[in-house]
Amino acid sequence: MTIDLNKYVEFVNTTTSNPSKDHTSFINRLMELREQEFPSERLLTAAVGMSAEAGEFTEIVKKIVFQGKPVNEENLFHLKRELGDIMWYVSQACIGLDISIEEVIQMNFGKLSARYPEVHLVLSVLKIVRREICDPI
């Protein structure tokens, strides 16, 4: 199958929202969102920043796994530092959404517990067993 690249570019342009390709539409959309008290600037900072920093984290992992970069203190430190940068942007998102990181983690745990109830059950049983062993009556 041959794809006409010019037609593809035309298709991309026609399926792109106006705020994504027109400055005035973009500014108007930001103004609409401001009226709704949506923190566009904070969440755009968070979204773009998380993506960029996750890319840097991924790049290090890629080089270790696929390109023979050594697993050493320097590279592990670099991964941890990039993870810290990701967390900075996660914190920006939390500020923008008026939620604590703890609440985000609790919500995620609830979502995953519902998705994987067997894991939640096993963890509950392990807690009971540990309590019985560590704090017998």
The CATH code of the domain that includes 51 is 1.10.287
Residue 106 and residue 45 in one domain:
yes
pLDDT surpassing 80 at residue 126:
no
Give the domain range for residue 98: 41-134
Q: Domains in the chain: how many in total?
A: 2
Q: 49 and 92 in contact (C-beta within 8 Å)?
A: yes
Residue 53 and residue 102 in one domain:
yes
Residue 56 and residue 91 in one domain:
yes
pLDDT at 26: 98
pLDDT in tens, 30-79: 999 999 999 999 999 999 999 999 999 999 999 999 999 999 999 999 99
pLDDT at 129: 65
> What's the CA gap between 125 and 40, in Å, rounded?
44
pLDDT surpassing 80 at residue 136:
no
Length of the chain: 137
